[in-house]
Each structure stands twice: as structure tokens, then as C-alpha cells.
Amino acid sequence: MTELPSRRLLLVHAHPDDESINNGATMARYAAEGAHVTLVTCTLGERGEVIPPELRHLTGAALGEHRKAELAAAMAELGVHDVRLLGGPGRYGDSGMMGLPDNDDPACFWQADVDEAAASLAEVILEVRPQVLVTYDEDGGYGHPDHIQAHRVAMRAAELAGAAGWRIPKVYWNRVPRSVAEDAFARLREELPGLPFPSAAAVSDVPGVVDDDRVTAEIDGGAGHAAAKAAAMRAHATQIAVAPGERCFALSNDLAQPLFTTEYYELVRGEAAGHGGNRETDLFAGTTDAAEAA
């Protein structure tokens, strides 16, 4: 077995593009620093709404294949080489937005048996032995069924892997401090006349926004990693339109959102390494390379 780098980060996401929007700068930073970054994507996003008119003929499996290629291009921008599809390509289908009949499709991720899906992810955990796991909160950040299910599967897989010999030292959920989101949207509304989008989204449209005191870590992408994040988001062209200047983007609703180049997290399992109430600036802070018994 090839020896893995001493720092290993695992991210679990619902669809292609979620990783770049939420964690692109973080992934680029750690990949550039030599950490082993593993991304597990749970579905191919076959029910996503397509932005470019010339690609709107893509639906279902054809859209999923196209988005898989977009994901590969985005990961090349971030320098990430270990990308897995949970259970293999096409194992779990996109569930659509909450409350739609798509949620009832037996092949969709929302209908998946959590323990079965978690067992597949636990195999990845036992192979990679990450010190850090990043995923969504129990609401999936904003209530999408696939995001909620990704949270359930990721947290259950961490339990299964712990019982089998690898306890992940630190587990984080994606977050955005409310004050940061409010300030960013205030600036965005001022800049709106010069942007290619007709109006702005709202703070409530951003996944994972919480009161500032819940945020325990922040990762500043810096100029280089911020550019990599924007490039990765642009690679997901069916789903994301990035404005010139890379300060904002829009999804299929054409509503402008800030492009956050500092990314934020809440530590929910493990011991924080911040001092005096300060946020951590390294997700690996305080971890070791030893497996911990569950």
C-alpha cells in the first residue's frame, strides 16, 4: 500500500459543484501544502437545472455524465486527485429539491439505506484514515434532501469507521458567520448595477449561515487559492455563473451571491486548537497520525 501523506482531509458532498462553492479555497490550500485531499460525492446531480442555453438539452444520465466531467475539471483546478463517487458512478441518483415527486424515486439518494451507504463511505475512511472530515450540518445547510442525507451518511460512516479502528479526530460542518454574510450582501447590493445579474439573493439563500459564535475555524484562501476556487466554480458551467472579477456568482435562479474566499467551519467532534476564544486557522491543528480506538 502506498504511504499516505501525514495530513489527510476527507470531504463528503451531495452533488458536483457543492465542494467548490463550500470548500474550494480550503481544498486548494491543503492540496498545495501536500495534504492528501479526498472528495466523496454522493450523486452526479442528474436533476440539476442547467444554466447555459446550449447545454439545456442535457437531462438525467446525460447531465450526470457531463457533470462528472465538470467535477474532474474543477478538481484539476484545485489540485485534488482523489475523487470518489459514493458506491461507484450512478449508485445513488439525485433526489431533486425537497417535496418533489423525485424524492420518492427508489434509486435516489434520499431513499438510500443510511447504514448501507455509510458502510461504503466507511471503507474509504479506513483506507484513507483522515484526521479531518468536513460535511454539512443536520439540515444539509439549507434543507436539500441529498445534503441532509450526505450529513447522515457521513456522520454514520465516521461511527462505523471508529468501531473498525479509525476514529476521525476532528469533524467539521460547513458554516458562514451571519455577520460576514450580511456584510458581503450589503457590498454586493451596492455593486449590483455593474454585475451581470439582475438582482441579489438573500442571506437566507446561503447554506450554513449561523450566529458568529458558533464558528470555530476559518481558512483564508489567500489570492492564489481564491483564484483556484473561482476557476473550479467556473468549471461547473452547467450550474454556476461566475461574474468577471470573481467576487460573486449565481446559480440557475440568476441571483447574485458573494463568492467567499475565506471559508468557515464549526467543529462538532474533536478538540479545538484555538486559543483564548480565537478561531482555528488550520483544520489539522492538534491532530496526530495515530488511529484512536472508538
Annotated binding-site ranges: 15, 18, 147
Q: Which residue carries 460547513 as its cell?
A: 174
The answer to whether the Cα torsion of 100, 105, 108, 114 is positive or negative is positive
Which residues of the chain form beta strands (DSSP E)? Answer: 8-13, 36-41, 82-85, 132-135, 170-177, 199-200, 209-210, 217-220, 241-242, 248-250, 255-258, 262-269
| DSSP category for residue 3 | P
CB within 8 Å of 182: residues ≥ 6 apart: 203
CB within 8 Å of 127: residues ≥ 6 apart: none
Measure the CA dihedral 206/104/91/85, to 10°: 10
Task: For the chain, state the CA radius of gyration.
Answer: 18
| DSSP category for residue 93 | B
Q: Extract the annotated binding site for Zn(2+).
A: 15, 18, 147
